[in-house]
Amino acid sequence: MSSIGFYIALPLLYLISILPFPLFYLVSDGVYFLLYRVIGYRKKVVYENLKNSFPEKSHDELKAIEKKFYKYLCDLFLETLKTLTISKEEAVKRCAFNDNTKTIIKDLYDKKQSCILVMGHYGNWEWAGNTFSIMKSQQLYVIYHPLSNKHFDKLMYNMRTRFGTKLYAMKDTMREMIRNRNEVNITAFIADQTPSPEGAYWTTFLNQDTPVFWGTEKIAQKLNYPVIYVTVNRVKRGYYEVNTEYLVMEPKNTKEGEISELHTRKLEKDIIAQPEIWLWSPRRWKYKRK
């Protein structure tokens, strides 16, 4: 999109962001109709991913999940825009820590212990980041891929840092984490992105050979930071609950592949429980194991 196109679209994005939630979700319903019924955005990719992930399910069952996913995808997109203007009070109400999460975050802070947080593109990870930064005592860092469009990249950067989150560009992660070793912090890794097959950790995930980034495991072992796993469950439309659990306390004592396998199995279990809130539209299985 050109600079002119971006600045024409920007007022519309803010207008959607300030809508009251009942009207906001009516807009989302309209976007769903266009995206799914009219445009058919990536329907072939989504259905193929679902079919290969759940070979035991019938065509009708897969289509039901597909429709729920597209409805959720539209909610997720608009909820991300909501970050432009949402208040701290509303953000915490809409994406709340459960007691287990509060206990673990406080425990880590009291011990002055930095940690690595690992999660997937499951539930509203953007809202979860907001709540972490509003509720936390320690600094939250999130690893991100800069967008190719510099205008949208700046918009997303401002949205993600609005409540105090700081960002690491992916290529700078290790250097920045070492530089901030004297600070009590949490670094969030979204672990279900698709790495190049060379040098990836390969495992079976949702019944398919799947490459997994080594980065989460290798950095955790090098710094010996505890690894916590976060699930962002959707309670109902527009409301989420963040659950956290310890995954590994002493990464330096783990075997090769152990941490990668643990967080992959956790995410797989979450997806099976509520498949429609995982991001099915990317081509996650475009590479084959050699």
Which residues, 6+ apart, have CB-to-CB distance to 160 below 8 Å? Answer: 83, 126, 129, 142, 144, 167
Percent of the chain with pLDDT over 90: 88
pLDDT of 136 over the 80 cut:
no
pLDDT of 49 over the 80 cut:
yes
Identity of the amino acid at 33: F
Residue 199 has a pLDDT of 84
Residue 2 has a pLDDT of 67
Residue 188 has a pLDDT of 97
DSSP annotation of 20 reads: -
Residue 147 has a pLDDT of 83
DSSP lists the bridge partners of residue 212 as: 201
Residue 5 has a pLDDT of 78
Residue 123 structure tokens = 């539930």
Residue 290 has a pLDDT of 79
Separation CA 119–CA 124 (nearest Å): 11
Strands (E), 73-146: 95-97, 115-119, 139-144
Residue 176 has a pLDDT of 96
Average pLDDT over all residues of the chain: 95
Strands (E), the chain: 95-97, 115-119, 139-144, 166-169, 185-190, 201-205, 208-212, 227-236, 239-248
Identity of the amino acid at 136: K
Q: How many CA atoms lie within 13 A of 272 on its CB side?
A: 14
Report, as an integer, the average pLDDT of 248-265: 97
Strands (E), 5-125: 95-97, 115-119
pLDDT of 114 over the 70 cut:
yes
pLDDT of 1 over the 70 cut:
no
129 and 165 Cβ atoms separated by less than 8 Å: yes
